[in-house]
Structure 1
């Protein structure tokens, strides 16, 4: 997998170890606009990786650092999802600009990226980017599966990676 370094200045120090992977869709008309926003210091938003529709993978923030992709989100007992996660943005215009299925090339890049992050970040978990991902067969792609406690159509769906069920 080739990763294009596209550094963003929008990051700070982690305060928690990584315990999840968060997938978002960009909700912007195109990849160029999303990449520009994620790298704009005034926007105060970023992610670790951006996966373009053609399968290109951009690294914006090193995984050792805290990217600003989850806002003030919390999950279960974690009050700082940004510190506890690796954030992956998946280029898709979203509902405002014609939400559509993720292209095969994009999914083909996403699966090994998640598997690679999973390998580095033990006990990682993922949150998904909406109902378009729910129909994609990710199982078998690095041990990724829907969590038992999240509905497949949820806007943010959890996928288990690296838990005891993979044994």
Structure 2
């Protein structure tokens, strides 16, 4: 079969034009986004307005604007799962004013990245939250939402894109390794995302978040001593029971609640803090009971955060 080169070129150009002209379903909300950003920019260009109560102060003779300032620098990255069924559903949710929720990045199951908000602006992703002494994580963090219904594993394509975004953010804003955390870490009484299948260990291996040391369980966990039951008359042989449990040899003075607090968890609701800790660092038997294994992991991490 012979092809007409001129006709083929025309078809290719038509396809390229069609792709370029494909209408953006979010054109109207993008317009609203630009309008809102423009309004904020206008506020920044004017002389600072008096804050409530400032009019009562004795004012200087004239206004003086400093030349030493910059945009805000995020210091945390908070990772979420969307608990929705598709990227499109989440994009729609984040463009509806009535939902009052947003994030800087949304990453689909297919690895596609949607950068929805300038990193220097404040997204509404953390809600009522606390990490250490920081009670306004929205103002100090970048929010990343992963398209995931809350129960499924995270795809390889999605994780690969996430690692690329984290690398970019860490280099751009010099975010400390320990400051890559999850939504459940900062809001343990309300949230459980990202779910227990999230690859926190893999992220830590790339420098995003901390993880406990290899071999730490073998170092501190030992089989419990056998239990010997003797016949008081001495006529029957002793019975030796081999317990299945293990015991840890971490220092007796170790305080798990204090360790959780040092790491950053809000321990005012201790059971919730324990669940959040186990969701992130243990990822099996996620409950509010610290086993000997959990305590060893917690002790090791506590030393890293000190």
**How far apart are the structure 2 equivalents of 1:47 and 1:85?**
10
Specify every segment of 5 or more residues in structure 1 that has no aligned partner in the other structure, as ranges.
Answer: 1-5, 155-164
Q: Does 1:127 align with 2:181?
A: yes
More RCO (CA 8 Å, sep 6+): 1
How far 1:147 sits from its partner (Å)?
Answer: 5.1
| RMSD, aligned CA | 2.9
Secondary structure, aligned partner of 2:79: strand
TM-score between the two structures when normalised by the length of structure 2: 0.43
Matching residue of 1:115: 167
Aligned residues: 145
Is the contact made by 2:72 and 2:120 (CA closer than 8 Å) also made in structure 1? no
Who is 1:75 aligned against? 131
**Residue number in structure 2 paired with 1:40:** 96
- Over 3 Å counting, the alpha-carbon distance change for 1:120 and 1:67 in structure 2 is same
2:113 is the alignment partner of 1:57 = yes
Change in CA separation of 1:139 and 1:86 when aligned onto 2, cut-off 3 Å: same
CA distance in 2, matches of 1:93, 1:130: 9
Q: What aligned pairs does 1:1-167 form with structure 2 within 5 A after superposition?
A: 9=33, 17-94=73-150, 99-124=151-176, 125-128=179-182, 129-134=194-199, 137-141=202-206, 143-146=207-210, 149=263, 150-151=277-278, 152=281, 153=283
Pick closer, same or farther for the CA change 1:145–1:78 going to 2, 3 Å.
Answer: closer
Query: Aligned partners of 2:145 and 2:168: how far apart in 1?
Result: 16
Is the contact between residue 130 and residue 137 of structure 2 (CA under 8 Å) also seen in structure 1? yes
| Higher-helix-fraction structure | 2
CA distance in 2 between counterparts of 1:62 and 1:16 reads 11
CA shift for structure 1 position 71: 0.8
Offset at 1:19? 1.4
Between 1:54-63 and 1:113-122, the stretch displaced more is: 113-122
**Structure 1 Cα separation of the partners of residues 120 and 200 of structure 2:** 32
Cα 1:24/1:45, change in 2 over 3 Å: same
d(CA) in 2 for partners of 1:132 and 1:140?
16
In structure 2, list runs of 5 or more residues that go unmatched: 1-25, 45-70, 183-193, 213-262, 264-276, 287-303
TM-score (normalised: structure 1): 0.75
Local SS of the residue matching 1:22: strand
Look at both structures and tell me which one has the larger radius of gyration over its CA atoms. Answer: 2
| Cα distance in 2 for residues equivalent to 1:42 and 1:138 | 34
Looking at structure 2, the residues matched to 139 and 51 of structure 1 have their Cα atoms a distance apart, in angstroms, of 19
